[in-house]
Amino acid sequence: MSNRQTNTDVILIGAGIMSATLGSLLKELMPDWNITVLERRATAGEESSNEWNNAGTGHSSLCELNYTVEKPDGSIDISKAIKVNEEYQVSRQFWSYLVNSNLIRNPQDFIVPVPHMSFVQGEQDVSFLRKRFKALEHNPLFDGMEYSEDPAKLKEWIPLMMKDRNVNQPIAATRIESGTDVNFGALTRILFDHLKSENVDIKFNHNVDDIKRASDGTWELKVRDVASGKVERQTAKFVFIGGGGGSLHLLQKSGIPEGKGIGGFPVSGLFMVCQNPEVVAQHRAKVYGQAPVGAPPMSVPHLDTRVIDKKESLFFGPFAGFSPKFLKFGSMFDLSSSVKGHNLVTMMAAGVKNVSLTTYLIKQVMLSKEKRMEALREFVPNANSEDWELLVAGQRVQIIKDTAAGKGTLQFGTEVISAADGSIAALLGASPGASTAVSVMLEVIKKCFPTHINEWEPKIKEMIPSYGVSLLKNPELIRQHQLSTARALGLSEKVSLQASH
C-alpha cells in the first residue's frame, strides 16, 4: 500500500442512487463537511440504478399485487402497501425540494406520469383484485384508483393487451393515473452533477479493496485506481457502503460484529424490450400481473411503458435467473467468496431451504426466447418475436440471515446494517429499491448521526415536510403534498387535479 493518505469527513462507496441520495441529504444538512465518493466504474449509475437495468417503477403500491396480501380470513392486509406508498411520497418531496431550490433542474428528464395498473385473469385472481381494490379505494393514498371487469373498458385502458385476446375467463384490472415512470439512472447522474458542483470529490475508476478501522477510530480504506493499478489510502470519520450488490463483501471486510452471520443470494434479471414505435404507441401504462407459482416476488411479470431520453419503449419482465455474480460487472466468484466461517451454517441452511427456488431460477436462465415470448403473450397476445429483444438487467443480492422464522432465511427487503457507534453503515438487499432511497437514507442518518438529528430536524422538515408525520392520518396533507410535488416535478395537471378533490 502506498503511503499517500487523504482524510475526509464522509466517504460514500459506490455512485448509485443510494450514495447520490445520502450525499445530497448530507450536503444540505452539513454544507461544510468534506465528502468523497469512490466508484469502481467510469461513470455514475452503471449498475442497478441504470435505467436499462431496472424497471423504473416509482413503487408506491398502486399496482404491485405482492404488497397486499390476502389473510387466511379472506381480508386484505394493506399495511405494506401503505408503508411503500408513504416512502415514495418522501422521495417525491425531497426531489421537489431540490427542484424548487434550483439545485437540480428539468425533472421531466427523470420522472414522467405513466398510469399504474394491475391486471389479472381467472376467478380466483379476479376475486383477489376486487377485494384489494375495495380495501384501497377509500384510502387517500390511493385516491383515484378505478376498477373494471368489463373487457370493453379494459380495451380502452390497454388496447395492446386486449387486441386478439380470447376472453374466455373472468378478467379484471385497476388503473390509477398518478403512477410514475422514473429514470433512476438519469436521476443518479443529475444528483452527482449537483454534488460535483457542491465540491464533492467524486473519484470514478476507483475500487475500494479493503476497509479497516484505524487506531483513532476512523475508517481507513484501501483504494485502487483501476486504470493505473495505483493504490492509496483514504480515511474518513463516517463511511457509507452503497456498493449495491458489492456491499456485502465490503461490510464483511469492515469486520463489524453487526455484519456477521449475514449472507447474500444473487438473483439476476432479464427484460424483453420493444422499440418498434408502432407497437409502443399502442400502450401507455405500467401493468403488473401475478407472480407465477414458485417465482420470487421480484419476478412478478409486468409490461411497462418506459421513457428513456425522451423516447418511449416497452419493457416486459423481469425474468429472474441465477448467476453467482453480485454485480452486473461483478465476478463469478462473488457468491463463493462471500461464504465465511461466520455465515457458513446460515448459508448452508438457506441452500437446503431454497433448492426449489434455485431450481426455478436455473430453469428461468435456460428459457429460450420463444418460451419467454409465450410468457409475454399472456400480456400481449399478438406479440411478434421480431419486435422484442432480450436485455440483461441488474443483479439483486437478497439478504440471508437467521431470523425468528428460522436459520438461513431468505429476505426480500432492504436492511441498513450499521456499527454501534454509527461510524459505518451499509445498505443490503434491493426491494422496493430506488423508489424508497430517501426514506432509507434518512434511516441511515438517524442511525448514524443520533447526536445531530435534533439539530437537523428543522432542515429535514424543510426538505421533507411530512417528515415524522403519518400521512395516512392526515389525508389533507396527502392531497397538499401530491399536488405540490406533482407541480414541482412537472407531472400532469390531471394528476394534480385528481389529488385535489
Ligand X SMILES: Cc1cc2nc3c(=O)[nH]c(=O)nc-3n(C[C@H](O)[C@H](O)[C@H](O)COP(=O)(O)OP(=O)(O)OC[C@H]3O[C@@H](n4cnc5c(N)ncnc54)[C@H](O)[C@@H]3O)c2cc1C
Question: Which residues here bind ligand X, judged by CB under 6 A?
Answer: 13-19, 38-41, 46-49, 53-57, 59, 184, 207-208, 242-244, 246, 250, 269, 318, 327, 393-394, 396, 427, 430, 432-435
- If the CB atoms of residues 55 and 141 are measured against ligand X, the closer one turns out to be 55
DSSP string, 332-392: TTHHHHT--GGGHHHHHHHHHHTHHHHHHHHHHHH--HHHHHHHHHTTSTT--GGGEEEEE
- If the CB atoms of residues 175 and 302 are measured against ligand X, the closer one turns out to be 302
- If the CB atoms of residues 396 and 401 are measured against ligand X, the closer one turns out to be 396
User: Minimal distance in Å, beta carbon 274 to ligand X?
Assistant: 17
How far is CA 20 from each of CA 44, 71, 81, rounded to the nearest angstrom? Answer: 9, 38, 26
User: Minimal distance in Å, beta carbon 38 to ligand X?
Assistant: 5
- If the CB atoms of residues 259 and 433 are measured against ligand X, the closer one turns out to be 433
User: Minimal distance in Å, beta carbon 454 to ligand X?
Assistant: 28
**SS3 letters across 249-261:** HHHHHHCCHHHCC
Q: Which of 248, 243, 236 is nearest to 208 (CA)?
A: 243
- If the CB atoms of residues 17 and 129 are measured against ligand X, the closer one turns out to be 17
User: Minimal distance in Å, beta carbon 395 to ligand X?
Assistant: 6
Query: 323 is written with which cell numbers?
Result: 448467476
Please report, as a single letter, which amino acid is at residue 240.
F
Query: 354 is written with which cell numbers?
Result: 431454497
Residue pair 361/410 in contact (Cβ under 8 Å)? The answer is no
Query: 264 is written with which cell numbers?
Result: 447474500
- If the CB atoms of residues 28 and 39 are measured against ligand X, the closer one turns out to be 39
User: Minimal distance in Å, beta carbon 269 to ligand X?
Assistant: 3
- If the CB atoms of residues 154 and 178 are measured against ligand X, the closer one turns out to be 178
User: Minimal distance in Å, beta carbon 50 to ligand X?
Assistant: 7
- If the CB atoms of residues 127 and 207 are measured against ligand X, the closer one turns out to be 207
- If the CB atoms of residues 15 and 471 are measured against ligand X, the closer one turns out to be 15
Residue in the structure block whose three cell numbers are 434479471: 269
Query: 31 is written with which cell numbers?
Result: 454544507
Q: Which long-range contacts (CB under 8 A, 24 or more apart) does 217-224 make?
A: 217/421, 217/423, 218/7, 218/423, 219/11, 219/254, 219/423, 219/424, 221/11, 221/13, 221/38, 222/1, 223/38
Residues 6+ apart with CB under 8 A from 79: none
User: Minimal distance in Å, beta carbon 195 to ligand X?
Assistant: 14
Query: 2 is written with which cell numbers?
Result: 502506498
Residues 6+ apart with CB under 8 A from 404: none
Q: Which of 402, 418, 419 is nearest to 410 (CA)?
A: 402
User: Minimal distance in Å, beta carbon 70 to ligand X?
Assistant: 23
User: Minimal distance in Å, beta carbon 489 to ligand X?
Assistant: 16
